[in-house]
Amino acid sequence: MNARPLMTELRGNLLLDEPMSKHTSWRIGGPADRYYQPADIADLSLFLSQLPENEPVYWLGLGSNLLVRDGGIRGTVIATSGVVDGLEQIDEKTVRAEAGVACAKVARFCARAGLSGAEFLAGIPGTMGGALAMNAGAFGGETWEVITAVETLDQQGQCQHRQPEDFDIAYRHVTGPKGEWFVAAQLQLEPGGEPEVLQARIKALLAKRGDSQPTSLPNAGSVFRNPEGDFAARLIEACGLKGQCEGAACVSDKHANFIINTGGATAYDVETLIERIMQEVEEKQAVQLQREIHIVGEAA
């Protein structure tokens, strides 16, 4: 495929036909037409301003919470992890984190600064951009509980400064101004904490996560949202689905709301297993599970 001409001022890295299996936590996914790693927010703004108005755009952090189908993605993937990753304390209780910073890094940064309230972020296996987009949570905390302001870019590359009231925020669901994407957020936390105590709390939370989740195997995090007053994992386990497989994609024996890639699984395997779980839970438990993961791309 030939690259569409781009302005020479761009400082990022543009790849064509890039296998998404290299960039998703499931290690699954066909090629993206274009895959761009911006140098920073200014470079990202310039890149967006050059895209055709109807260009499909997909945002990627650490590649968790995402299933890319085997046929890949027609459009442009923008990868922010490790590049749009500014992280700074701007006053005694406020931290600014850009979209590509891993949530766990934000948690550790805040703990070292003696700021409490962000420890739960250590349990979210993604970046701040993804956490903002879905109001990700862990250990009883949710992302937007600590957010006081966000910065977004639109597809023309224009920056907007938004407040939480500009968004409809719910459990694992956020909607806001159409055609805008998160590039940074301000977190308001409690100052005066003991760094050693906060770091020990994070360590304990991560140990708990490692004990209860298949963190050593390729997975995408929780596959389904928890229904109100119940747990998706309980419902799946009650249907006898723990350990059940489609191809090389299996329901984890450790946590029934996780699907693991045991080696060579395809997106088709995972999606087939997801549909089977949803069907059996509805038939046997009379509950319609809602996916937490996002499925994008085309079938092979």
Among residues 21, 81, 222, 252, the one annotated as catalytic is 222
> In this structure, what are the phi and psi dihedrals at residue 113, rounded to the nearest 5 degrees?
-85, 0
Match 């747990």 to its residue by tokens.
Answer: 231
Question: Residue 41, class by beta-carbon neighbours within 10 Å (0-12 exposed, 13-18 middle, 19+ buried)?
Answer: buried
Which amino acid makes up residue 147? I
Cα angle at 52 between 48 and 58, to 5 degrees?
A: 55
Query: Which residues contact residue 3 at a Cβ distance below 8 angstroms, ignoring those fewer than 6 apart?
Result: 14, 16, 34
Is 60:23 a contact under the CB 8 Å cutoff? yes
φ, ψ of residue 86 in degrees (nearest 5): -65, 145
Half-sphere exposure of 159 (CA within 13 A, CB side): 12
Proportion of the chain in helix, strand, coil states, percent, rounded to 5: 30, 30, 40
Q: What is the largest CA-CA distance in the chain?
A: 58
The DSSP annotation for 183-216 comes to: EEEEEE-B----HHHHHHHHHHHHHHHHHHS-TT
> 152: which 2 tokens?
């977004």
Tell me if residue 292 is catalytic: yes
In sequence order, the 6+-apart residues with CB closer than 8 A to the CB of 187 are 94, 95, 96, 97, 106, 110, 117, 118, 146, 147, 148
Active-site option among 74, 172, 209, 291: 172
Q: Give 26-72 as a DSSP string.
A: T----EEEEEEE-SSHHHHHHHHHHS-TT--EEEESSS-SEEE-TTB
For the annotated catalytic residues, the residue numbers are 172, 222, 292
